[in-house]
Amino acid sequence: MVRGYEVVIGLETHAELSTNSKIYCDCKNQFGLEVNSQVCPICMGMPGALPTLNETVVDYAIKMGHALNCNINRVCKQDRKNYFYPDLPKAYQISQAEVPLCENGYVDILVDGEERRIGITRIHIEEDAGKLLHSDKFDGCSLVDLNRCGVPLIEIVSEPDMRSSAEAKAYLETLKSILQYLDICDCKMQEGSIRCDVNVSVHKPGEPMGTRSEMKNVNSFSAAVRGIDFEVNRQIDILENGGTIDQETRRWDDVKGESVSMRSKEDAQDYRYFPEPDLLTIVVDKDRVNNLKAEIPELPNAKILRYVKEYNLPQKEATFIAESVELAKLFDDCLAKDKYPAKSYSVWLLGDLVKYLNETGKNLSDTMINADNLTELVGLIENKTISNAGGKKIFAVILKEAKDVNKLVDELGLAQVSDIGLLEKIANEVLAANEKSVNDFKNGKTNALGFLVGQCMKASKGKANPGMMKEIISKKLEEI
Ligand SMILES: [Zn+2]
The DSSP bridge partners found for residue 106 are: 119
Report pLDDT for 422. 87
CA of residue 154 to ligand 1 center, whole Å: 18
Report pLDDT for 268. 63
Q: CATH number of the domain at 420-479, out of 1.10.10.410, 2.70.180.20, 1.25.40.80, 3.30.465.10?
A: 1.10.10.410
CA of residue 33 to ligand 1 center, whole Å: 14
CA of residue 433 to ligand 1 center, whole Å: 82
Angle between helices 420-433 and 466-479 (to 10 degrees): 60
C-alpha 397, offset from chain centre: 27
CA of residue 35 to ligand 1 center, whole Å: 13
Letter string b/e over residues 134-149, b meaning 16 or more CB atoms within 10 A of that residue's CB: eeeeeeeeeebbbbbb
Q: Are 249 and 266 in contact (CB under 8 A)?
A: yes
Domain with CATH 1.10.10.410 in the chain: 420-479
3-state secondary structure 345-383: HHHHHHHHHHHHHHHHCCCHHHCCCCHHHHHHHHHHHHC
CA of residue 279 to ligand 1 center, whole Å: 16
Q: Are 68 and 107 in contact (CB under 8 A)?
A: yes
Q: Are 376 and 405 in contact (CB under 8 A)?
A: yes
| CA 75/CA 62 separation, integer angstroms | 12
Report pLDDT for 265. 63
Q: Which residues contact 396 (CB under 8 A, 6 or more apart)?
A: 352
| CA 456/CA 460 separation, integer angstroms | 6
Which amino acid does the sequence have at 289? V
CA of residue 42 to ligand 1 center, whole Å: 5
Q: In a structure prediction context, what are the per-residue pLDDT tens digits for the chain, which is 480 residues long?
A: 899 999 999 999 999 999 999 999 999 999 999 999 999 999 999 999 999 999 999 999 999 999 999 999 999 999 999 999 999 999 999 999 999 999 999 999 988 878 899 999 999 999 999 999 988 888 889 999 999 999 999 999 999 999 999 999 999 999 999 999 999 999 998 899 999 999 999 999 999 999 999 998 788 999 999 999 999 999 999 999 999 999 999 999 989 999 998 877 666 678 999 999 999 999 999 999 999 999 999 999 889 989 999 999 998 899 999 999 999 999 999 999 877 899 999 999 999 999 999 999 899 999 999 999 999 999 999 888 888 888 999 999 999 999 999 999 988 888 888 788 888 999 999 999 999 999 999 888 888 999 999 999 888 887 888 888 899 999 998 887
| Sheet arrangement for strand 152-158 | 71-72, 102-111, 114-127, 152-158, 6-16, 194-203, 213-218, 248-253, 258-264
Look at residue 478 and give its three-state secondary structure: helix
Report pLDDT for 414. 84
C-alpha closest to that of 476 among 421, 419, 424: 424
Angle between helices 55-67 and 286-294 (to 10 degrees): 60
CA of residue 470 to ligand 1 center, whole Å: 72
Residue 285: burial class (beta carbons within 10 Å; 0-12, 13-18, 19+) = exposed
DSSP per-residue codes, 179-244: HHHHT-----GGGTSEEEEEEEEEE-TTSPPPPPEEEEEE-SHHHHHHHHHHHHHHHHHHHHTT--
CA of residue 29 to ligand 1 center, whole Å: 9
The beta strand positions in 54-175, using DSSP E, are 71-72, 75-76, 79-82, 92-95, 102-111, 114-127, 131-134, 142-145, 152-158
The pTM of the full predicted model, rounded to 2 decimals, is 0.83
- At residue 345, φ and ψ (nearest 5 deg) are -95, -40
CA of residue 44 to ligand 1 center, whole Å: 7
CA of residue 131 to ligand 1 center, whole Å: 15
CA of residue 36 to ligand 1 center, whole Å: 10
The DSSP bridge partners found for residue 351 are: none
- Quick one: DSSP state of residue 252? E
CA of residue 453 to ligand 1 center, whole Å: 72
Q: Which residues contact 220 (CB under 8 A, 6 or more apart)?
A: 189, 254
Q: Are 134 and 141 in contact (CB under 8 A)?
A: no
Report pLDDT for 305. 87
Residue 293: burial class (beta carbons within 10 Å; 0-12, 13-18, 19+) = middle
Q: Which residues contact 127 (CB under 8 A, 6 or more apart)?
A: 22, 23, 24, 43, 93, 94, 95, 149, 150, 151, 152, 153
Report pLDDT for 125. 98
CA of residue 148 to ligand 1 center, whole Å: 9
